[in-house]
Structure formats: structure tokens, C-alpha cells
Structure 1
Amino acid sequence: MKLVCKKSDLITGINIVMKAVSSKTTMSILECILIDATEGEIKFTANDMELGIETKVEGEIIEAGSIAIDAKIFSEIVRKLPDNDVVIEVNDETKANITCENSKFNILVKSADDFSYLPEIEKKDKITLSQFALKELIRQTIFTVNDADKNKILTGELFEVMGNRLKVVALDKFRIAIRNMELKEDYGNFKVLVPGKSLNEISKILNGGVDDEVNIYFTSNHILFEFDETKVVSRLIECSNYFDTDKMISNDYKTKITINKKEMANCIDRATLLIKEGDKKPVFLTIKDTEMELSINTFIGSMDESIPIVREGSDMMISFNPKFLIDILRVLDSEEVNIYFTNPKAPCFIRDDENSYIYVVLPVVQ
């Protein structure tokens, strides 16, 4: 095998597939990138058996072939090379020569036959979104996912397709994040639970273009994302016992406030200055007339601040973990937000009039 590629193109390809290189494994082949130039184009692939990524790389194929090369070593070598054409040449299946200007590396490689290729995905159940829409869906829900939770269901996000509607749900033990959006056509009905780790990595690869599409294919065991020159395949989490979040959401409320999102976020941010790491002191929201007073009292000191609101219903005093509120406020794009309260021991709901987003947060009960 012999290839000639620009350094910048190699780095682009490496950056994409590195997100699927295993960092904790006893199988050295999972620490490799597959370089495949057997079908008239150059493709880089990495696969940690949970997440697999394949992307095309610009370059010239002088001699076809394929190898598996240690991802970390390959990445570090390419980054340190001069900004010029890079020649990758393999004369046997054990060593590769990487040359750029006067620099030449000779490193051990593995046979491509040992590499775990991406699974073939049946392209049956499918939806199409803009890259911008998918990136936003992930950004506005991923913060509730806990990759380390022992309950596997809480480590993923539910993608539920209902005709021409897509519903994305993520939750932990204290809050729920839901995003709803209309699709361009009727795609039928199906749902899958996608690992949050996979969505996090996909979000980093997406360019976020409004006019750039991503095709998403669903099977019983895998989900496939195709966009630009890249394919991302992820294993799915069993979702037959997923929570019925519709039953957790109520339209009843005793108090509704409309508040400036930025003012509220900044106020909570200031309050957290008095919280030491590991301290679980809540912020208190006192809603009365046309103001909401936010206060906190910790071992360091106390703080209170009033914010103007538009209120419907009765007065209310309720407390929350400040992080849970600020996480939500930071991902919303609207200037103002509506917050609904039932009583001091019940969750609050943050949602817009169109129900394009719904966030549920449990209070801290004193």
C-alpha cells in the first residue's frame, strides 16, 4: 500500500475517527485506526465495539492496500510533521513508512484482517434531519444523561419517531429533558435508546449546517448516522422498559411565571459563588406579586436578589439544586422562559407554548 495525503486531510480524518478508539481495552486492535485503500478511495475506521466511525480522506492511492495502525502513535506523528504532503507506504504487513519532507518514521502495524469492521446496517427505518437540528437536539438534552449510572436506561436518550414527529427524551433521577420536532415527512413509528456517549461524540463531528443533512437509520440493535463523508454506527440500549414520561408531565399548575432567561441564569450563577464543591445547598425561589426573590444561605455567607416577573396564579416558595436550573437555562435560545409550579414538593415544568421543549425538575424538599 502506498498513499499520498495532505497533512491537514490526515488530521481531519484522524480527529473524526479517534472518537471511536478504545482507551480502556486489553485488545490492542481496538486501539488502532484501519487505513483502507482497497476500493478506490481512502477510508479511516475506528471501532471500540460500542461505537464505530468511518470517514473518507482525500488523497492519492499509488498502491492499494489496507493496514491497522496504532491510533495514538499515528495521530501524534502526523501532528508533528511539517505542513506538506505525507507519504504512507507499507511493503509488508508488519511495518509502515510515514514520510514528510526530511522526516521518516518506520512503525509497527497490524494486519487489517484482525480489525473489527463496522456492522452492515439495513437501511429500512430512516429519518432525515439537518445537521443543525440534530446537534441542537443533542445539546439541549445531553446534560441530563449520566454515562456512569448503574441503571443502563439512564445512560441513553430515547429517540421516538411517531409519523412526522420526533421526540427525544433524556432523564436522570432528578430531571427530565424532552425535545419535540416536526419531520418533513411521515416515517412510521419506532423508538430506540441511543447511548449518551455516542451522541456526545457525534455532536462533536457534526458541522451544524442548516442545509447539510444527516440520514439516521434504525435497526433493533444499532443506529447509523450518515453525513458528509462519514458514517457513525452505535449499539443501542434495550428500551422496552423505558419510562412513560407522558405520565410524569402535567398541564395543571397553581403558579406560572414568565422571566428573562439571562437574568435568571446570571442570578443563579452569582448565588453559586457561595457554594463549596460538594456542598448541596439549594437556592430558594420566593414568588410574590411581580417579583421572584432568589436567595441562598451557606457556610460561606448569604445572598438574595430580586428579578421582575410576569406571574399568573398564587404566591409560591420552592427550592432547587441551582445546577439543575442553570443547566436548562444555558441551553435555551429564547429570551424569556415560562416556568410552571404546582406546590413546593412537586416538580416544576419549563416549557414553551408550542411544547417544542419540556424540562422537568424535582425540588429540594426541606
Structure 2
Amino acid sequence: MKFSCEKVFLQNAIAVTSRAVAQKSSIPALEGLLIHADQQLTISGYNMQTGIRTNVFANVVEGGNIVLNARLFGDIIRRMPDDMITFTADEKMMVHVSCGDADFDILGLSAADYPDLPEVEDEYAVSMQQKVLRSMIEEVAFAVSTNESRPVHTGALFEIADMSLSMVAVDGFRLAFRREKLEKLEGGAFSFVCPGSALSEVKSICGDTEDLVTVTLGKRHILFEIGDTQLICRRLEGEFLDYKNAIPRKNPIQIVAETKALIESIDRVSVVISDKLKSPVRCLFDHDKVMLSAKTGNGEAKDVCRVSGDGDKLEIGFNNRYLMEALRYAPADKVKIELNTGVSPAIIVPVEGEENFLYMVLPVRLKSAE
């Protein structure tokens, strides 16, 4: 096996595929990267849950397969000079890597020990711009549950219908919803739940570009094709929350707020809140203003944020981080906040136009004596 490749291409490919390498495994090959040279060079990482495979621009002189420890190979390539790297491997699995005056000899593993990445049957597919998918994941993923007792909620629901993609995440305390129009749809309406861990990798691979990413749904796996890179992950099975019926929309109180100003007010009163001294942020919605306060053993903080609308003197408490994250990820300078009672969820939506996002935050019960 022999090939030569520019350092920058090889280093980028190793960085991307190493994200799917198992940190510790009973199968030593899974702690490595599969290097496959044929007409082109392909590098793969796989941890039995998520697999990432990418093609690298290289001059392949002699084909072959070998597995190399991901950390060691990555460290070697990163320390090489910025030049053409030459890679050779013999039948005894001895690998020679050279670039300029630097030379390394390391021992590889047989590719026969490396499990095959799953094949994804082409049942349904959808395409969209990388930057759109990346922003959607970012604006929803924070609400993905980390509680393994409901495994299906440790992922985000994708719903593809009516030439649009909806993405939903829920963790029992809040819900995040985003919708975007689609450019291309094959095979009609479909839905699936993608693991949160795989979504964060998809987000990191997607660039801030209008180039397309194609999402293909198989019977048990999902395939994301992003340029020269493929990410394959298992679908999460189970009954996802019926979110449409879980969101209360007949809310009599509607407030319009400047997103940044409200975040800053919550941030100010959160100064007295810590991991040791937890306390809800108390919000009193009045006419054209909301009075925020928090009180812990550290002290007491108060602030006022100007808003539009009458809050009818509704007093409601929120976990400061949950409310702040919902506002921070809302893709709008102004938001409409819908409220009902002190124990009903707050709904955050766009002020006008199509509802391409919705965030729901459950309140925290306030002690009336506070």
C-alpha cells in the first residue's frame, strides 16, 4: 500500500473521522482509523454507534487497507511539516510515514478486524443547505435530553412533510422546535429520531455554505452526506412525545420583548444563583415591563426589562438557564412570549410571519413567602 497526500487534506480527514473513533474498546481496531486506498483514499472511524467516512484527495500508487491507532496517527500527521506526506505499508503491517526530513515507522493492525460500516438502504432522502441544517441543529440540540430512562428523547425528531423539515427536541423541562422550507424531497413524507451525539458531529462537519447536505433514511440507520464526508448513525426507536398536543397555544397574555435586552436582564439577576445556591428567577409581568428578581444565600438581585404588552401582573418563576437558553437560541431580535398562569409553560415564538421556531419552557413553582 502506497500513497502521497498533502498534509492539510490528510490532517483534516483524520480530525473529522477521529470524532467517531471509540475511546476505549474491547476491539482494538475500533480505537483506530481504517485507511483504505483504491482509486482514491478513504479514511473511516466507527464506534459501533456512529461511523464517519471521508474521501481524501491523494495520489494512490498501490492500493490496500490498514488500521492505525487514531490518536498516534493524528499526532504524527499534525506534527509533520506543511508539505506532501508519503505513506507506505508492507505486508507485515509496518507503516512508514515521511514528510520533508521527518520519518516515522509505526505498526498497524489488520483491516480484517475492522467491522463494516452499516449500509443504508435508499428509502427516503432529503437535501438542504449545510448552513441551514447546521443552524437548525444548533437552535434545537440544547433541549435534547441526557436522561437515558427515555432513550428516544436523547435525540431530535426530524419530520419531513409539505416541502419542509421540522426538528424537535424535548427534555422534560423545555421543548425546542424549528422548521425550514426544503429545496428537494424524494420519496414523500417521513420522520425519524437522530441521536443527539450524532447531531453534534453533523453540526461540526457542516460548513457555513450553501452546498447541499443529503439526509437518507434507511430501515435502521440514517446517512448524512456532506461533501466528501458521510456520517452513518443508528435511528433511535420508540414513541417520541406528541409535541403538537403538548404545546398549549390558547394563552391570554402576549408580551413582545427585545431578545437581547431580556437575556441581559435574566443574566444580571442570575449573578446570585450558583450550582450550590439554586433559585428560580421570579418574573412579574406588568404593563409594558417585566420585573425580574432572584434571592439566594449570596444575596438578592432585581432588574426591570421593558417589553410591549400587558402581563396582567402575572408572577411566574423559571430556571434561569432554561429561559436564557431558549431566548439565546431563538433566531430573532424580537420574540413574542405567550403566558397563561403561574404554573403554565411560557411559549416563545416569532413576533410576526411564519412560525419557523417555537420554544416552550416549563415554570418553577414559587414559594409565596419569598
Whole-Å separation in 1 of the counterparts to 2:346 and 2:103? 62
Amino acid at match of 2:97: I
Other-structure match for 1:206: 206
How does 1:1-366 map onto structure 2 within 5 Å? 1-38=1-38, 40-185=39-184, 187=186, 188-209=188-209, 211-239=210-238, 241-312=239-310, 314-352=312-350, 353=352, 354-366=354-366
- Give the SS at the match of 2:264: helix
User: Which deviates further from its counterpart, 119-128 or 315-324?
Assistant: 119-128
- Does structure 1 retain, via aligned residues, the 8 Å contact 2:255–2:336? yes
Q: Secondary structure at the match of 1:314?
A: strand
Structure 1 segments unaligned to the other structure (5+ residues): none
Structure 2 Cα separation of the partners of residues 102 and 133 of structure 1: 44
Counterpart CA distance in 1 for 2:60 and 2:315 is 68
Contact 2:94/2:107 (CA < 8 Å) preserved in 1?
yes
Letter in 2 for 1:6: E
Q: Distance in 2 between matches of 1:309 and 1:360?
A: 19
Aligned partners of 1:254 and 1:313 also within 8 Å? no
What is the CA RMSD across the aligned residues, in angstroms?
1.4
How much does 1:186 deviate? 5.3
Question: The residue matched to 2:298 in structure 1 has which SS?
Answer: coil
Asked whether the equivalents of residues 205 and 226 of structure 2 are also in contact (C-alpha less than 8 Å), the reply is no
Q: How big is the shift at 1:269?
A: 1.4
CA pair 177-30 structure 1, distance change in 2 beyond 3 A: same
- Counterpart residue type for residue 10 of structure 1: L
The two structures have a TM-score, normalised by structure 1, of 0.96
Give the number of aligned pairs: 363
1:119-150, Cα deviation, whole Å (9 max, x unpaired): 22122301111001110110000001134533
Once the 2 structures are TM-superposed, how far is the Cα of residue 60 of structure 1 from its aligned partner?
A: 1.1
- Secondary structure, counterpart of 1:25 in structure 2: coil
Secondary structure in 1 aligned to 2:142? Answer: helix
Q: Give secondary structure in 1 for the equivalent of 2:201.
A: helix
Deviation at 1:72, TM superposition (A): 0.6
**Contact 1:163/1:185 (<8 A) preserved:** no
| C-alpha contact 2:273 2:294 (8 A) present in aligned 1 | no
- Paired with 1:141 and 1:149, the residues of 2 have a C-alpha distance of 19
CA distance, structure 2, for counterparts of residue 349 and residue 338 of structure 1: 8
C-alpha offsets along residues 102-125 of structure 1, whole Å, 9 cap, x if unaligned?
Answer: 221111101112212222212230
Deviations along 1:136-178, whole A, 9 cap, x unmatched? 1100000011345332022100111123122111000101111
User: How far apart, CA to CA, are the structure 2 residues paired with 1:230 and 1:17?
Assistant: 9
Separation in structure 2 between the aligned mates of residue 305 and residue 312 of structure 1, nearest angstrom: 18
Between the aligned partners of 1:163 and 1:94, the Cα distance in structure 2 is 53
Q: What secondary structure sits across from 2:166 in the alignment? A: strand
Matched position secondary structure for 1:273: helix
Q: How far apart are the structure 1 equivalents of 2:131 and 2:147?
A: 28
For the residues of structure 2 that align with 1:342 and 1:12, how far apart are their CA atoms?
Answer: 51
One-letter amino acid of the structure 1 residue matched with residue 142 of structure 2:
F
Name the CA distance, whole Å, in 2 between partners of 1:176 and 1:92: 54
Of residues 298-307 and 186-195 in structure 1, the stretch that sits farther from structure 2 once superposed is 186-195
Query: Which amino acid in structure 2 is aligned with residue 207 of structure 1?
Result: G
Instruction: Give unpaired runs (5+ residues) of structure 2.
Output: none
Q: How far 1:93 sits from its partner (Å)?
A: 4.1
Would you say the 8 A contact 1:156–1:170 is kept in 2? yes
Amino acid at match of 1:146: S
Q: Is the 8 A contact 1:93 1:111 kept in 2?
A: no
Query: Which letter maps to 2:298?
Result: I
